[in-house]
Amino acid sequence: MKTLKFAVLPGDGIGPEVMEVALDVLKNAGEKFGFALDYEHADIGGIAIDNHGVAFPDSTKTVCENSEAILFGSVGGPKWESLPPKEQPERAALLPIRKAFSLYANVRPGLLYPQLTDASPLKKERIPNGIDIVCIRELTGGIYFGQPKSTTTLENGEEQAIDTMVYKTSEIERIAQVAIDTAKARGGSVCSVDKANVLETSVLWRKVVTEYFAKHAPEIKLSHMYVDNAAMQLARDPNQFDVLFTENMFGDILSDEMGVICGSLGMLASASLGAEQNSLGFPFGLYEPSGGTAPDIAGQGIANPCAQILSAALMLRYSFGENEAAAAIEAAVEKAVTGGIRTGDIAFGLESVGTKEMGAAVLANL
Ligand code: NAD
Ligand code: IPM
Ligand code: MN
C-alpha cells in the first residue's frame, strides 16, 4: 500500500483542535482510497518557544526535511506578543519555514457553495451562484522579507521604523507562471493586482507580468487592477475575478477579505508551493488554513475545522497525487456544510455544532 509521509505541525490556539479533526478525515480517506499515513508531529510557533526556547527548532526542520509535505495549523497568540517582535511565532517560525523551503506560491481557493450564501456578508443577489475564485499570492518576497527592516532611535530621540518592499524580475516571473497554470487549469482569466500608481515594485510587477504573459501565455486573458479598487471590487462583485494574482502583503489582506465573503476565514484553505519536488515527484508543499490561531475562540472546541480539512485535501492533491481522495474530502465538506451542519462562524441562524461534530459530519459524508 502507498504510504504518505508528512510532517504535522499543529502550532498554537485552534491549530491543535482543528488538526486533530483533519487527521481523522485523512485516516478515513486512506482506508477508503487505499493509502496509509506515516506522519510525525513537531512543535512550531508559541508551543515551540515554550518547549524548546525557539519558534522553529532545528528538530522540527529535520522532521519537515524528512517528509514529502507539511500539514500546518497556525501560530501565534497573546501569550507570545510581549516577546521581541523578531522572536514572536509569526516572524520566527511561519516566515522562516516558508523561506526555508522556498514556498513562494500561496494558492488560496475562494469557494462559497451556493447553499451557503446566507453565511456570506454579501447580499444573495450579488452572488446567486456562490463564489468561485482563487487567490495566487507571492509568499517569499515583498515587504515581508525586504532589507533593511529595522527600528532605530533618531538623534532627536524619536523612533523610526523601516520595512523595505523588494521584488526582482525572477521572483515575479516564477509566480506569474503559477497564475498562468492556475488559470489554464480553471479555463479562466487572471487579474493582477498592484499599486503601480505609487510603488516602484508594482511598476516592475506590472511590466514583468505583462511581458511574461505575452510571451508564455498570450491566450490567457490578463487584466490589471490597483489594490484599493480590487478590495472594493471584491466586496461588490467577487465573481468578476477568476484568478486574483498579487504580491505578498496585498495577497494577505485580500485573501482575508475573500475568506469572509466566502462565508468565513474558517473555510479558507491554502497551499504553499515552491520549486522543490518531493521524492514522489510531486511538489513539496506546506498546507495551512488561511486564518490564524483565533485566540478569541481557542480552547472552546468551536473552531471551524473545514479550512484545515480542505488544506489536507490540497496536500493529497498537490503533494501526493491523490486526486480522487482530495475531491472526495472536498465533496464531503460541501455536503456536511450545505446539509446544515455548521460551526458558529457559518451558522447564521442555524443551530451550531462544535469542531468535533463538524468533523464527524464530514466523515459521515466521506
Ligand atoms: P485570526 O485569523 O486568528 O482570527 C480572525 C477572526 O476569524 C477571529 O474572530 C477568529 O475567531 C475567526 N476565525 C479564524 N479562523 C477560524 C476558524 N477556523 N473557525 C472559526 N472562526 C475562525 O486572526 P487574528 O485574530 O488577527 O490573529 C490571531 C493570531 O493568529 C495572531 O497571533 C496572528 O499573528 C496569528 N495568525 C497566524 C496565521 C498562521 O499561522 N498562518 C495566520 C493569521 C494569523
Ligand atoms: C497568513 C498570515 C501570516 C501572513 C502572518 C501570521 C505572518 O496572516 O498566512 O495569511 O501574513 O502571511
Ligand atoms: Mn493573513
252 classed as catalytic: yes
pLDDT at 360 over 90: yes
Residues written for the chain: 366
User: What confidence tens digit (pLDDT) does each residue in 122-143 have?
Assistant: 999 999 999 999 999 999 999 9
Q: What is the pLDDT of the chain when averaged over all its residues?
A: 98
Residue 90: CB within 6 Å of ligand 2? yes
247 close to 29: Cβ distance less than 8 angstroms: no
Average pLDDT value for residue range 276-286: 97
83 close to 48: Cβ distance less than 8 angstroms: no
User: What confidence tens digit (pLDDT) does each residue in 213-237 have?
Assistant: 999 999 999 999 999 999 999 999 9
pLDDT at 133: 98
Average pLDDT value for residue range 140-157: 98
Query: How far, in Å, is the centroid of ligand 1 from the Cα of 294?
Result: 4
| Percent of the chain residues past pLDDT 70, beyond the cut | 100
**Is the overall model pTM greater than 0.90, yes or no?**
yes
The interface predicted TM-score (ipTM) is: 0.99
Whether residue 77 is annotated as binding a ligand: the answer is: yes
| Percent of the chain residues past pLDDT 90, beyond the cut | 99
Average pLDDT value for residue range 160-179: 98
Query: How far, in Å, is the centroid of ligand 3 from the Cα of 218?
Result: 32
132 classed as catalytic: no
167 close to 205: Cβ distance less than 8 angstroms: yes
pLDDT at 349: 84
Cis omega (within 30 of 0) for bond into 148: yes
Sign for the CA dihedral angle at 58, 60, 66, 71 comes to negative
What ligand has the least distance to the C-alpha of 73? 1
Residue 90: CB within 6 Å of ligand 1? yes
256 classed as catalytic: yes
pLDDT at 80 over 90: yes
Residue 295: CB within 6 Å of ligand 1? yes
Average pLDDT value for residue range 302-306: 98
Whether residue 238 is annotated as binding a ligand: the answer is: no
Instruction: Please name the amino acid found at residue 195.
Output: K
Residue 132: CB within 6 Å of ligand 2? no
Residue 12: CB within 6 Å of ligand 2? no
User: What confidence tens digit (pLDDT) does each residue in 325-352 have?
Assistant: 999 999 999 999 999 999 999 998 889 9
pLDDT at 15: 98
Whether residue 155 is annotated as binding a ligand: the answer is: no
User: What confidence tens digit (pLDDT) does each residue in 238-258 have?
Assistant: 999 999 999 999 999 999 999
167 classed as catalytic: no
Query: How far, in Å, is the centroid of ligand 1 from the Cα of 15?
Result: 10
Would you tell me the crossing angle of helices 15-33 and 323-338 to the nearest 10 degrees? 120
Q: Which three cell numbers stand for residue 53?
A: 526556547
Residue among 44, 265, 300 whose CB has most ligand 1 atoms within 8 A, to mutate: 265
pLDDT at 242: 98
Q: Which residues contact 210 (CB under 8 A, 6 or more apart)?
A: 222, 224
**CATH 3.40.718.10 domain range(s) in the chain:** 1-113+265-366, 121-261
Catalytic residue among 12, 167, 195, 242: 195
Residue 290: CB within 6 Å of ligand 2? yes
Phi and psi, residue 341, nearest 5°: -90, 115
Under the banding of pLDDT at 50, 70 and 90, the label for residue 177 is: very high
Query: How far, in Å, is the centroid of ligand 1 from the Cα of 74?
Result: 8
Residue 74 DSSP SS3: strand
Write the CATH number of the domain with boundaries 1-113+265-366.
3.40.718.10
Whether residue 123 is annotated as binding a ligand: the answer is: no
Average pLDDT value for residue range 307-320: 98
pLDDT at 281: 97
Write the CATH number of the domain with boundaries 121-261.
3.40.718.10
